[in-house]
A and B are shown apart, each in its own frame.
Chain A
Amino acid sequence: MAPRLPAGWAASLSSLPSTNVLTTRVLLTERHALLPRTAKRGVKYGWSTLPSRQRPARFNQVNSGLPAPTAGPAAALKRKEATTPLRTGVLATKKGVSAMFIGGLRTACTILQMEQVEVVAAKTRAKNGYWAVQLGLGHKNAGNVTAPLLGYYEAKGVAPKRHLSEFKVRTEEGLLPVGVQLQPDWFKLGQFVDARSNSRGMGFAGGMKRHNFAGQGASHGNSKNHRTIGTTGPSQGGGSRVHPGKKMPGRMGNERVTVQNLRVLKVDNEMGIVVVSGHVAGPKGCVVKISDAIKKDPRPRPSSTRPGGS
């Protein structure tokens, strides 16, 4: 079937000088007779008059002799290279807080459980613009999963997961095959990790609790304004307006908090737990992303690798 022609093509044919049948047929074969009359290329629509498939998509290419661009996807990846971990992190659930005695020293620690952590997909530079590993945590009944996601898990060959999350990695070497399960021994004893999670939600909180405002006096004529935030902006000289970003009462907590450089004190594949030093934000049961520390050499230090207990 012939491709559809522009709507006015018949009109243009009728306006052509029709001396005889032969010339009409010749004219019909001329390209401009059947092309749309709207200009698609030329000076007005860009300098290059090359057909679109020969025209370079972007001009500031490295091979064009110009310096490498300082903005854009490639430049962004290059910029973040140093802070992108080589390996993927893992997903875990916060189970609680306790303590561990290392030598004579008591260290507060957080117990995180890795429940059925599997690699679900790999994001590639060619297709997605970055390297990343998509991990799933937990299990979900198929009846509680939507049909599109069921198709996704079917294609990946993994069971439906409760949570999905991506971990960016520096290069292609950081990618893992789909379907691999990660266990707590993904982390070495004594290594440093960062833990990202959502903090406990406080609900709607006033200025004193949310931003540590001082509040107001209990007496000296104060009337029903003991915990209010007071004034929110300058007077007429200052514009009579509230500046953007003014700290005010509002929803507090339930925001992403990263705790950096936590030491791995214990890993146990059988229980599926990773014990890290210190505290991780969020209530018990919240999902925590643990990954190799970015601001410190994540490898365990010889001096600090004391047996964390077994």
Chain B
Amino acid sequence: MMLQPVRRPLGPLKSLLRRNRQAQQFVARSMATETTPTETAASSIPPPISTLAAAKKPTKFHVIPSKTPGKPIRTAFAVYAPPPSARAAHPNPLISYHAQQIRRLDRTGARTALFSKKNPDAAKPGDVLQVTTNRGEPFAGVCLSIKRAGVDTAILLRNHLTKVGVEMWYKIYSPNVLGIEIIWRRPKRARRARLYFMRKPRHDMGNVEHLVEAWRRSRNVFSSNKGRGTQGKGKGKGGKGSK
């Protein structure tokens, strides 16, 4: 002890400086703990939705009890409030997304009603449908399946063109699809949702051109009658729910 000042003449000064430095560190740390971003720092940044003023105060203290009562530990931690949860408000945003997109693409709701399960007059697998697109001839065929996937809902139509089986998928909400019409209804409800057995020669409907022709003739009959023409178009055999 006696030798110390001789060996380290600046000893007391250094220890003072060190103490001062520690005090500075402590101040800095506690500032970091308490500080919240200022307005100037966040000027170019989107404004925080979680109100920082509210986030400043801890909403509760989480207490951890000590397992050994004789040895207390640091038991409480401040817990801050989380920002509002988008997930709690919209637990399944996919459903909202589908609804939003369908509203945009099918403003009248006719296309949705045509394939709705709640609609007893809806198109069902086994019916013959005709799809008019914005390019080429309309395609008619028996509906083998309806893939229900919100705005991505699609139908599979099968027909025979030049004695070759042809199947086409159509997205029912696609802007390219101008109209879907029911040409012919299956007399009895199909007892399967997917009529893939109709690809087998034994069950294949073959060409549906004669059904389309009959439907067109029936429409022409109505349209030639001037008084009932406009009504008949809508209420005709297959005219329901087009467009």
What residues of chain A have their CB less than 8 Å away from a CB belonging to chain B?
1-2, 28-29, 34, 93, 95-96, 98-101, 103-104, 106, 111, 113-116, 118, 138-139, 142-143, 147, 150-151, 153-155, 157-160, 176-183, 185-186, 268, 270-273, 275, 309-310
Contact = CB atoms under 8 A, between A and B. Distances in A.
Interface string B194-207: 00000000000000
Interface of B: 1, 3-4, 6-7, 32-34, 36-38, 41-42, 45-46, 48-50, 52, 55-56, 58, 60, 62, 64, 74, 77-87, 89-90, 92-94, 96-98, 100-101, 104-105, 134, 149-152, 171, 173-176
Contact of B173 (A96, A101, A118, A186): A101
B50 A179 contact: yes
Nearest to B79: A142
Nearest to B63: A142
Given A116-B82, A151-B77, A153-B80, 11 more contacts: A98-B94, A98-B150, A99-B171, A106-B174, A116-B83, A142-B60, A153-B77, A158-B80, A181-B48, A273-B93, A310-B104
A103 B56 CA distance: 47
14 contacts: A101-B173, A116-B83, A139-B85, A142-B79, A150-B77, A151-B77, A153-B77, A154-B58, A157-B33, A157-B80, A180-B46, A183-B49, A270-B86, A273-B86
A180 B86 contact: no
Given A2-B3, A158-B80, A271-B86, A101 B52 contact: no
Contacts of B62: 142-143, 150
A116 B134 contact: no
Contacts of A150: 62, 77, 79
The 6 closest A-B pairs by CB, nearest first: A272-B86, A177-B37, A159-B82, A142-B62, A150-B77, A99-B152
Nearest to B44: A173
Given A29-B6, A113-B93, A271-B96, A178 B37 contact: yes
A182 B83 CA distance: 11
Nearest to B81: A159
B93 A177 contact: no
A98 B151 contact: yes
Contacts of B84: 116
B170 to A, nearest CB: 11
B100 A158 contact: no
A104 B173 CA distance: 11
B94 A111 contact: yes
Given A114-B86, A142-B77, A273 B175 contact: no
A142 B62 CA distance: 7
B82 A139 contact: yes
Contacts of A111: 93-94, 97
A150 B74 CA distance: 12
Contacts of A186: 46
Contact of B85 (A116, A154, A182): A116
Contacts of A272: 86-87, 89-90, 93
B98 A103 contact: no
A181 B83 contact: yes
A104 B176 contact: yes
A101 B174 CA distance: 7
Contacts of B41: 177
Q: Which residue, of A29, A157, A273, has the highest number of chain B Cβ atoms within 10 A?
A: A157
Given A2-B3, A98-B97, A113 B86 contact: yes
B149 to A, nearest CB: 7
Contacts of A138: 87
B46 A182 contact: yes
A160 B79 contact: yes
Given A98-B151, A179-B48, A155 B94 contact: no
A100 B79 contact: no
Contacts of B38: 177
Given A98-B152, A99-B151, A101-B175, A154 B82 contact: no
Contact of B83 (A100, A104, A118, A176): A118
A179 B86 contact: no
Q: Which residue, of A100, A111, A142, has the highest number of chain B Cβ atoms within 10 A?
A: A142
Contacts of A180: 37, 42, 45-46, 48
A262 B41 CA distance: 31
A165 B200 CA distance: 55
B104 A176 contact: no
A159 B79 contact: yes
A151 B62 CA distance: 11
Contacts of B64: 147
